[in-house]
Amino acid sequence: MTLLGPSLQSYFTDHAHAQKGLSPNTVASYRDTWRLLIKHLSATTGLPADKLVLGMLDVEAITAFLDHLETDRGNSPTTRNARLTAIRAVLAVALPDHPEHADTLARVLALPARRRAPRVVQFLEEAETEALLAAPDAGTWTGHRDRALLTLAVQTGLRISELIALTTSDVHTGTGPHVTCTGKGRRYRATPLTAGTLAILVPYLDERSTRPGVALFPGPRGQHLSRDALERRLAKHLITATKQCPSLGRKHVTMHTLRHTAAMRLLQSGVDVAIIALWLGHQNTTSTDVYLHADMTIKQTAIDRTRDPSVTPGTYTPPADVLAFLDSL
């Protein structure tokens, strides 16, 4: 009987760090997947976590877990596939050391990923962005912090993990102002800061210097904020912003939506997709092409370039009086 625990300990203490050199975010994602899987297996088998064995991880058990993620937890196909990747990573390393479970593990490794619908990019229009940035209470410390955080997110397009990890030394306000971070895939990048962003960040940094810790956007005790904390703060400000801009209420807005907003702002300003990919920290432009599909303005411009010279450019608008239109035919 091969217990599951030693295989997990071997993977996370040796393989993930010493051999693969996985990033902390990847290790955390894999860890969370196995936490969920072990809790699910314990609940369905009635066994405590330290009594689970490797042989229990058959196709039926893993498929039931993945279905649980989608049906009970409401996870998307993308999240489901990410969890499957984390499971495969550990089992692929365990397989050579446990030939007695080779057939069972090989079948799990062969499980296909779930096909997903094309991604639709959600982003904020200019009026919606302004309403959101104006939502934090200007009379409180947390309001100053949140406004600086949201302003930086919308202008730079940093990922939520990158925003969380920022320290005060990552912001450079002198000549050539910019913010530095180490993002996905351990890729280092520096993103320029605009005058408008500096106007918010500089006074915030002065106020921030009187508080403990080095996190750029700290919690009550100076610690780095968590992902959940950032999403909760955003949700709070969205309620306020929606009162001023009702269209926000029709959108599902997360911190990643602010990243999309930054990309769409650059695209609509005429910035090349390759530059936007560098700005966002994408490894290639394939991930950035999705913004081209989302921008109807670019598509309208393309249509206008192919129009007949006698046709007025722009989108067709039906006449106000339908009967008069019909009479004119």
Catalytic residues, which ones?
A: 159, 184, 256, 259, 282, 291
157: left (phi over 0), alpha (psi -120 to 50) or beta: left
Tokens of 205: 């940094």
Is the Cβ–Cβ distance between 154 and 135 less than 8 Å?
A: no
Cα angle for residues 275, 280, 182 (degrees, 5° grid)? 125
**Pairwise CA distance, residues 228 & 69, whole Å:** 19
- Own/partner long-range contacts of 176-182 (Cβ < 8 Å, ≥24 apart): 179/152
Rg (CA), the chain: 25
**Pairwise CA distance, residues 180 & 192, whole Å:** 9
- Phi–psi pair at 57, nearest 5 degrees: -85, 65
**Pairwise CA distance, residues 157 & 171, whole Å:** 15
**Pairwise CA distance, residues 105 & 148, whole Å:** 48
Three-state secondary structure call for residue 208: helix
Length of the chain as a residue count: 329
**Pairwise CA distance, residues 164 & 161, whole Å:** 5
Three-state secondary structure call for residue 182: strand
CB atoms within 10 A of CB 145: 21
Type of residue numbered 115 = R
